[in-house]
Structure 1
Amino acid sequence: MITRRTLMAGLAAAAALPRWAYAAAPADGVDPALVQFIKGLPKSEYHVHLEGTLEAEMKFALARRNGLGLPFADVAAMKASYNYHDLASFLAIYYDGMKVLLKEQDFRDLAYAYLARAAAQNVIYTEMFFDPQEHLKRGVPMEAVIMGITRARREAETMLGIRSQLILCFVRDSSAESAMAALDAALPFKQYLVGVGLDSDEAGHPPEKFAAHFAKARANGLHVTAHCDIDQPGTLTNIRTALVDLKVDRIDHGGNIVQSPELVAIAKQRNMYFTVCPTFSGTLRKGLDQPVDVVRAMLDAGLKVTISSDDPAYMASEYINDVLLRAVTRSNLSRAELAQIARNGFEAAWLPEADKRLLLARLDAYLASV
C-alpha cells in the first residue's frame, strides 16, 4: 500500500528537523491563502490528552496554588527540560508534569485553557482524553477529576461555543487491575463520559489485556478506542486485534496499517477512522528501506484520517492549526484533502447523526464561502 508518491513524501519528511527541534514558524513556505483557509476551517479534534496540554506557565501557577515546589528556576528552564527522543522518554516527562494537578479547580482550569485555545483556532467540537489512574494513585478522587473537567466543558460551550466530550484512557503499562479500578470509580459519573481508550507504553501491553475493560465500558454505553502507536513491537498484530477481535470504534495513530493490505481492507470495510498526530508520530521507519510519511501514506491508501495535536504543551506548544500547517508541507496536502480531513473529523464524532449533520453543515457553509 506504500506508493512511490508516499515514499517521496517520506524522504522529504525525513530531511526535516526532528519533532523536538523545529525552529521555523509552521506557516513558513505555505501559500498565505492556504494559511487563511486553515485558520477559518471549522475543525474537530479527537486525539488530545488533556494532561498533555498542561503548559509550563500553568504548572507554575498550580504549583504555587497547591503549595508545591518545582525543580526549575522558571518557565524557560522547565521547557528546556522537555528533551525526549522516543515514547518512553516522552512519557517520563509527561507523567512527572501532571503531579501539580490535585484539586477539582485544577482540572477545571486545565480543561478550560485547552478548550479556549482550541476554540480560538476554530475547533468547534472535540473529544478529549484524560488519564485518571495517574491521579488516583496520588490520592486525587475520581469525582474531582471528572467534575472539574465537566465544569470546564460546560463553561466553554456556553462562553466559547465549543462542544466537547470526554474519553477515559487506561494507562496500559499499569496493571489491568488498576485500570479496572479506575473504570469502576468512573462509572458513577458515566453520564459525563463518551468512551474509553488506551494510551501510554504499548510494548508488552497489547490491546487484549483490556478486553474485559472494553466489554464493561460497552455494557455501560461507552465507545472504545485504542492507541496503536507507530513502529511498536507487534504493531500489526495489535492493530489486527483492535480491529477484528475487540472491534474498536476508532484507532488512535495506527499508521503502520499501510504495511498490510489485508488490514487496510478490513479498516475500509469497517469504515474505521484514525486519529493521526503527525507532530509526534508522523513517520514510519522500522523495517523500511526509506522512511514513509504517515498522513500521506494513509490518505493514498484510502483510509479515513483525522488530524490532532496529541500533547501540544510538550510539542513546542503547537495546537491544531500549527499541526495542520506543518502537515501541508510535510505530507503535501491539498486544499481538497484538508477539507476532506475536516469532514472525516465530523463524521467520526461520537454524536447522534442529527448533531453530526449540524457540524457538517457548518463545514459545508464555510467551504462554499471560500
Structure 2
Amino acid sequence: MEAFIQGIPKAELHLHIEGTFEPQLMFDIAKRNRISIPFNSVKEIELAYNFDCLQDFLDIYYQGAGVLIHEQDFYDLTYSYLEKCAKQNIRHAEIMFDPQTHTDRGIEFKTVINGIHNACVDAMKNLQVSSLLIMSYLRHLPQEAAFKTLEQSLPFKKHIAAIGLDSSEKGNPPSKFKDVFQASVKAGYIPLAHAGEEGDADYVWEALDILEIKRIDHGNNSLQDDALVQEIIKRNIALTVCPLSNKALQVVPELRNHPLKKMMDLGMKVTVNSDDPAYFGGQLNQNFIEIQKALSLTKKDIYELAKNSFEYALLDKNTKLKYLNELDAFYAKNK
C-alpha cells in the first residue's frame, strides 16, 4: 500500500508555502540574512514545532516567516517544496501564499511574488511539476487590509489564479470579507476559503452563499449540518482535507476519528493535502499513508482521492485530462 501511495500520480490543492519551512532551511536563511532568531540550533527549532492548537501554531509560523526578506529566500522556500513534490509523484500543486505576513514587515509584494513565481517556472522546466498560486487574505486582519493586498496584487495578476482566506477562523467569519471577495472576483480571481476547521457549519454556509467559493479548504464541520452536506454535493464543491494538520491542531483527537471516509461515503468530493507539512508531521504522501492505515482505506479509495485532486484542481480541461490519463494508467497496472 505504501508503494502504491508513493507511486500514484496526485495533486496537492491545500498547501501554504510558508508552512513548508523546514527547520534546516529556516536556520540557513536566518544565518544568510543575519537575522537573530530565538533558536541556537536546528534541533531547537524542531522542538518548537510542537503545539496543540491553531493559535500556538500560528505564533511560530509567523516567527519563521520573519526570516524571509529577499526574492531568493522566497524562491528557495518554494523550490524546496516543489522538489519534494517531484519525489512524491505530485504532478501538480496549488500553492497558497500570505502576502500580508510579509508586506506588514516591510517586504515588497513584488519580492514575494517574483521569488515564488520564478521557483514555480523553474520547477515546471526542471522537475515537470506544474503549479499555480492562491493569494490568501489573513482573516484576523481587517477587510481594509485585504483590499490593500488586492490592489498590490493587480500588476502581478497573471501569476495568481485564485484568492483564499486563512489564519484564525473563530470570530472572523467569511461574511467579514464579502466586499473584498466580490472585488477580487471582479478582478478575475477564483474565490476559495478555509471554512469549517475551527468554525461551525454556519461558517461554511457563509463561505458558499456570501463569498461564493468554488472549493472548501478543510470543511470538517460541514458534517454538523445534513442540509449543508447535501448542498455541497449538489453544487459539486470539493473539500481539501488535511489529516495530519487536523490531528496536530486537535481538530480530531486521533486519525481513527477523522471524518474523511464518512465524507466519501456520503458522496462528498474529498482530496488529501498536507496544509503546513513542515509543522504538522508529514508531506502529502505521509498524510495518505497515515490516513489509509487509520481508516483502512482501499486502493480504490486512494485512487478516488487522487482522481478528485486532479478533477477539482484549477486547471484547464486538457491538462486535467493529461493527468487523469496518467492516473488511470497507473491504477490499471497496480490495483
Aligned twin of 1:264: 229
Which residue, 199, 209, 219 being the options, matches 1:244?
209
2:258 is equivalent to residue 310 of structure 1: no
State the SS of the aligned residue for 1:170. Answer: strand
Q: Give the structure 2 partner of residue 230 of structure 1.
A: 197
Q: Is the 2:170–2:198 contact (alpha carbons within 8 Å) kept by the matching residues of 1?
A: no
Q: 1:295 to 1:360 in 2, by over 3 A?
A: same
* Counterparts of 1:185 and 1:80, CA distance in 2: 36
In the alignment, which residue of structure 1 is the partner of 2:65?
98
What's the CA shift for 1:285?
Answer: 6.0
1:250 to partner: Cα distance: 0.3
Q: Which amino acid aligns with 1:308?
A: N
What is the CA distance between 1:220 and its match in structure 2? 1.8
TM-score normalised by L of structure 1: 0.87
The equivalent residue for 2:219 is 254
String of CA shifts for 1:5-34, please: whole Å, max 9, x gaps.
Answer: xxxxxxxxxxxxxxxxxxxxxxxxxxxxx1
> 2:152 and 2:325 mapped to 1: Cα distance?
38
Equivalent-residue separation in structure 1 for 2:212 and 2:238 (angstroms) = 12
Gaps of 5+ in 2: none
Structure 1 distance, partners of 2:62, 2:12, is 22
The structure with higher relative contact order (CA 8 Å, sep 6+) is 1
1:110 to 77, 89, 92: 77
In structure 2, the CA distance between the partners of 1:47 and 1:285, relative to structure 1 (3 Å rule), is: closer
Residue 263 of structure 2 corresponds to which residue in structure 1? 298
Task: Tell me the amino acid that sits aligned with residue 215 of structure 2.
Answer: R
Q: Any conservation in 1 of the 2:123–2:129 contact (CA below 8 Å)?
A: yes
Give the conservation status (yes or no) of the 8 Å contact 1:284–1:292: no
Asked if 2 retains the 8 angstrom alpha-carbon contact of 1:35 and 1:325, the reply is yes
What's the secondary structure of 1:322's corresponding residue? helix
Deviations 1:313-337 (A, max 9, x none): 1123x10111100010122211101
> Could you tell me how far 1:284 is from its partner in structure 2?
5.7
Query: Partner of 2:125 in structure 1?
Result: 158
Structure 2 residue aligned with 1:25: none
- 1:78, CA displacement in angstroms? 1.1
1:245 CA displacement = 2.7
Is 2:286 aligned against 1:336? no
Q: Could you tell me how far apart the structure 2 residues matched to 1:170 and 1:246 are? A: 13
Deviation, 1:312, is 0.8
Alignment of 1:176-195 (within 5 A): 176-195=143-162
Task: From the superposition, tell whether residues 314 and 284 of structure 1 become closer, same or farther in structure 2 (CA, over 3 Å).
Answer: closer
CA contact (8 A) 1:48 1:310 kept: yes
Partner amino acid, structure 2, of 1:259: Q
User: Equivalents in 2 of 1:57, 1:313: separation in Å?
Assistant: 10
Q: Distance in 1 between matches of 2:111 and 2:83?
A: 21
Percent identity of the aligned residues? 38
Aligned partners of 2:324 and 2:237: how far apart in 1? Answer: 18
Q: Over residues 132-152 of structure 1, what are the superposed CA-to-partner deviations in whole Å (9 max), with x where a residue is unaligned?
A: 001001110000100110110
Q: Cα distance, 1:230 vs. partner?
A: 2.5
For structure 1, the residue ranges without an aligned partner over 5 or more in a row are 1-33
> Match of 1:355?
319
Query: What code does the residue aligned with 1:253 have?
Result: H
Give the total of aligned pairs.
330
Cα pair 2:19 2:275 within 8 Å, conserved: yes
Name the SS of the counterpart of 1:47 in structure 2: strand
* Rounded Cα–Cα distance in structure 2 between residues aligned with 1:175 and 1:243: 20
Give the C-alpha shift of residue 83 in structure 1: 2.3
* Most deviating of 161-170 and 207-216: 207-216
TM-score by length of 2: 0.96
Residue 260 of structure 1 deviates from its aligned partner by: 1.2
2:46 corresponds to which residue?
Answer: 79
Match of 2:88 in 1: 121
Offset of 1:341 from its aligned partner?
0.4
The answer to whether structure 1 residue 322 and structure 2 residue 289 are counterparts is: no
Runs of 4+ displaced beyond 2 Å:
229-232, 282-286
CA distance in 2 between partners of 1:166 and 1:303 (Å): 25
**Secondary structure of 1:165 counterpart:** strand
2:97 counterpart of 1:133: no
